Structure 1
């Protein structure tokens, strides 16, 4: 990435917030490996490899990036460079865990830690390949920093909401074009290929997933695509998403009928649309995640469709397609302004068909903003 997607002030505020949250949690340091947390904090994208890249932050610690020298130019093109963060680069044959220890300010002699560091958290995307030697080098028992890192990512700032809105508009444009490709005689895979091209054409940088579940395949919530030939009368679930250039994701599901749908199926899907709307209406600051889930679930249960709803109502979204908060039964997390998540109840009838309606919403001061506005009702194509 040649230009960070947000201003330096945005990334600086995120780093300061993460360090403050670490202090509140009693952590002396947090080590963040490649993954969504590193992308959120400093704009560094990519996955973990055998060569260690890590950001070290914490109360009283100058944010430091440990990075292989061969990745140095890439890392400096992100907020790491624009903020002028300390960088400790290394080459093969050197020990990067020594650099982590130096940044943390702790070393171990045998199993005894030398220095004031007692509690160190690591991001949940950092693999055992690196966690174990880091723990040995620091001489402390590492713990997950998830409670610290998720707190920052759950509340979206204005810049993030703008990117989620951009992603929502782009995926809505794709759904409006689905009737161009969805018809009897084509395979799910053929339709999915057209949709994937449109996801990029309509403004996404990457295609994260395309689900085209026709007929009985739609009864599998995580079906992707197959070579099944779509038939007249099929109910088809189309769940699609991608990342816009800033790395923020879209995720929207609509249910289509090829030709004239079975009247009973159409009636049940109309109930599903009402259930999704009930959850949207319930989503506001001060309610719990489980209360939003209950709103959708109750509508379906009242119509005798409760057992056909097989999953949670939603998940958070941002630099990850799935992140906290999770809108699920039993989740007593109190929702707050700035949280962004999906609302996607579904009904599934094994061997027959399935349906799901999904929007992304962002909580406002007194309710929520729906980021997806394409037609919600069953659409015949």
Structure 2
């Protein structure tokens, strides 16, 4: 799996004519090398990065005294100590640190890319970009090649993603068991985290669980609110599970033994219809624009509160492509082609502006030559579908 992913990165570099790439984003770095170290910490502290030439040895620059963490990983040819380009690490010496950093990277480029000075970087401190330019390097966007590399999954990646989904489902089963009137949102949400960590997973990227009136509008974060009888509880897993792979499925539960209201059932059944329609529509060879145009038409009532994508890629996180509603395509969309072995999460959020509650549903799907394979078998709420 590691060799496949590194090969994908190099294919993209070569197709774009880039001499090499530097990856700071810990998710991208893990994709390209299979190596991890303090991943959440590194999201805001640029103390770990990797240089990958289009052809040549891979050099990982790790946090001081962490070189041993990558021993035995065949995708890494050399480990050096990283220079952290941040004011916290360098203070008023930041410019000097950036100069030293750029000189080392530029030397690697000249050694392994020759006269090709196009170096891709996924994210970089401004001082580093300036210093690279002074070294004669042409800095280009590194997210383009890495996103396209990540978008097509190998059979091993697909199996890893299924392991992550099974882990999330085990956590969701515990959530169902613990969902009783009187439990707080935070308490309920903790069961997904605990299950993930116990089974070797990494972390949960967001805090998207809400109940009752907090389900509308969407994106309200998990809180100490007490969940009451008869309330809807909506959540999005956004979970980096075992082997780092992302599980991105959503469900909305009903709390208690009472009968759901007609309005709750209407919202749920509308969201369910959107997900099922768009799931069946998905197939290889469709353009993003075609998928958006043929997608389920959200009623005007729910359009203002719509989710920001109809569907999006999933891998080691939410990733390329983002497919937006047809009404948003000219302003926010971009085109491309849905390909076999992409993994796509199909989204729905249904809630009226000013409405009491809302429903969030989402499925994670492998695009096959014949259509899709659903990674999750977790059931929907029967009492809300009746």
State TM-score, norm by structure 2: 0.82
What displacement does 1:279 show? 0.8
What displacement does 1:247 show? 0.7
Q: Secondary structure at the match of 1:357?
A: strand
Alpha carbons 1:266, 1:378 under 8 Å: kept: no
How many residues were matched structurally? 356
The 1:306/1:97 distance shift into structure 2, 3 A limit, reads: closer
Partner of 2:121: 122
Alpha carbons 1:213, 1:225 under 8 Å: kept: yes
Partner of 1:371: 375
In the alignment, which of 4, 10, 34 is matched to residue 19 of structure 1?
10
**In structure 2, distance between residues paired with 1:264 and 1:289:** 33
Partner of 1:111: none
Partner of 2:131: 133
- For residues 117-163 of structure 1, the C-alpha deviation after alignment (integer angstroms, 9 at most, x for no partner) is 3322112x333353333333x22331112221111100011111101
Partner of 1:324: 320
Greater mean alpha carbon deviation, residues 52-61 or residues 97-106:
52-61
What displacement does 1:304 show? 5.4
The 1:87/1:203 distance shift into structure 2, 3 A limit, reads: closer
Question: What is the 5 A alignment of 1:121-270?
Answer: 121-123=120-122, 125-128=123-126, 130-136=128-134, 138-201=135-198, 204-258=201-255, 259-270=258-269
Q: Which has the higher helix share?
A: 2
Structure 2, unaligned runs of 5 or more:
85-95
Partner of 1:7: none
**In structure 1, distance between residues paired with 2:106 and 2:356:** 57
Is 2:19 the counterpart of 1:28?
A: yes
The 1:324/1:171 distance shift into structure 2, 3 A limit, reads: same
State TM-score, norm by structure 1: 0.83
**In structure 2, distance between residues paired with 1:221 and 1:161:** 30
**In structure 2, distance between residues paired with 1:368 and 1:135:** 45
**In structure 2, distance between residues paired with 1:371 and 1:168:** 7
Question: What is the 5 A alignment of 1:44-123?
Answer: 44-45=35-36, 46=39, 47=42, 52-67=47-62, 69-74=64-69, 76-77=70-71, 79=73, 82-83=74-75, 85-89=77-81, 95-105=100-110, 116-123=115-122
Alpha carbons 1:18, 1:58 under 8 Å: kept: no
C-alpha root-mean-square deviation of aligned residues, in Å? 2.8
**In structure 2, distance between residues paired with 1:312 and 1:104:** 38
Partner of 1:342: 345
**In structure 1, distance between residues paired with 2:189 and 2:61:** 40
**In structure 1, distance between residues paired with 2:341 and 2:276:** 20
What displacement does 1:249 show? 1.5
